[in-house]
Structure 1
C-alpha cells in the first residue's frame, strides 16, 4: 500500500506579536482528499508532535471538503490533536511527504533538521517531496545526496510576494517565501495571485497558494500511478 507523510506546523502566532496563525486548514484537507480517495495511507507529523493550531482566518473559507474532514473525529484526532513526532517516523515507510502551509510554518519548518532528513531519505529512496504555499519553506533545509540544497536549480513555486502583500502580512512575517526560495538557488515560478498553480520538477512538486492544494494532491496521485 502507498503511504504518505503529511507535515504540519505547531506554531500558533506571528512571533513576536500575539496575532494568531497556524495551519491553513484547506491546505491539509484539499490535499488529503485526494490521498483518501486514492486509498493512500497517511500519517501526520509535526516538529513537536501533538497539537496543531489552526489559523482562525482559514476557518472563514471552509467548503464541503473542509467540513467533511473537520467533522470527522478520527481525522481530527490524528491530524490536528495527536500528530507524531519526527523521532517516531521511519522514512522507509513512506512513498511521499507533503508539507502543508499556513504562516506558522515559517517559524518551525526551516529549522527542523529531523524533518529535513526524513524528507531527504524519502526522496533518495525514490519517493516524492511535495509542499504548498508557505509550507514550501520546509524545503529549504533539505539536502540532496551530494550535500547541496535540494531545490537549487529546480523549478518550484510557493506563496508570492504579491500574495503576501495582498494578505496584509508582509510586515509581520520573518521573511518572504518567494525571496528565500530564490536565495536558495531555486528556479522560482509564479502565476496569477490566488489561482491554482502547481510546478513539477521530477519528484519535487509544489503549489503556489491555498488554492493549489487540491490540484497538487491530484498531481501527486497521478504521479504515483493511482486514480
Structure 2
C-alpha cells in the first residue's frame, strides 16, 4: 500500500512570547482529504511525538471538508493526540513525506536530525519530498550524503516575506524562508500573496501558503498514481 508521512509541529507558542501557535489545521486536513479521496494512506509524525497543538487562528479558515477531517476520530487520535515519534518511523514504508505548516514549525522542523534522516532515506529510495507554507522549513537544512543541501539547484516556494509582514510576524520568526532557501542554493519563487501556488521540481513539491495545500496534494497524487 502506498503511504505518505505527514509531519506536524509540537510548538505551542511563538518563542519568547505567550502567543499561541501550532499546526495550521487546513494544511493537514485538506491534504488528508485529498489523500483519502485518492485511496492513499497517511501516518503522522512530530518532532517529539504525541500531542500536536492547533494554531487557533487556523480555525477561522475552515470549510466542510476541513471540519470533516478534524472531526474524524482517526485524525483526532493519530494526527493530533498521539502522533508518532521519529524513532517509530520506518522510512521504507513511505513513498513521500509531507511537511505541514503553522508558525510553530519554524522552531522545531529546521534542525531536527531524526526528521532529516527520515527525509533523506525517503529521497534516497526515490520517494517524494513535499511541503506547504512554513513547512518548507523542514526541507531547508537537509543535506545529502555528500553534504550538499537537497534543495540546492531546485525551484521551491514557501511562505513569503510579504506574507509574514501581512501576518504581523516578520519580526517574530527566527528567519525568512526565502532568505535561507537562497543561501542554500535554491531558486525561491513566489506569486501574489495568499494565492494558490505550488511548484514541482522533480521529486520535490512545495506550496507557497495555506491556499496551496490541495495543489501540492494533487501534484503528489499524480506522481504516486503513475
- TM-score band w.r.t. shorter chain: over 0.9
- Asked whether the equivalents of residues 113 and 141 of structure 1 are also in contact (C-alpha less than 8 Å), the reply is no
- Contact 1:133-1:207 within 8 A present in 2 as well: yes
Give the Cα–Cα distance (whole angstroms) in 2 for the partners of residues 146 and 200 of structure 1: 23
Equivalent residue, structure 2, for 1:103 = 103
Offset at 1:198?
Answer: 0.5
Aligned partner of 1:199 in structure 2 is 199
Match of 2:167 in 1: 167
Look up the SS of the partner of 1:87 in the other structure.
helix
1:147 deviation in Å? Answer: 2.2
Q: What CA distance in whole angstroms lies between the structure 2 residues aligned with 1:223 and 1:174? A: 33
Q: 1:144: Cα distance to partner?
A: 2.4
Q: Is the 8 A contact 1:151 1:184 kept in 2?
A: yes
- SS of 2:158's partner is coil
> For residues 76 and 183 of structure 2, what CA distance do their matches in structure 1 show?
36
Q: Give the gaps of 5 or more residues in structure 1.
A: none
Question: What TM-score, normalized by structure 2, do the two folds share?
Answer: 0.98
Q: CA deviation at 1:113?
A: 0.6
**Mapped pair 1:53 → 2:50:** no
1:150 maps to 2:150: yes
Residue 194 of structure 1: SS of its match in structure 2? coil
Contact 2:32 2:69 (8 Å CA) reproduced: no
Residues matched between the structures, number: 226
**CA offset digits 1:27-79 (Å, max 9, x no partner):** 00111111111111111000000000000000011111111011112211110
SS of the residue 1:180 aligns to: helix
Q: Which one is further off, 67-76 or 83-92?
A: 67-76
Q: Does 1:70 align with 2:70?
A: yes
RMSD (CA atoms): 0.9
Distance 1:178 1:143 in 2: 18
> Aligned to 2:47, what secondary structure does the other structure show?
coil
- Name segments (4+ residues, structure 1) moved above 3 Å: none
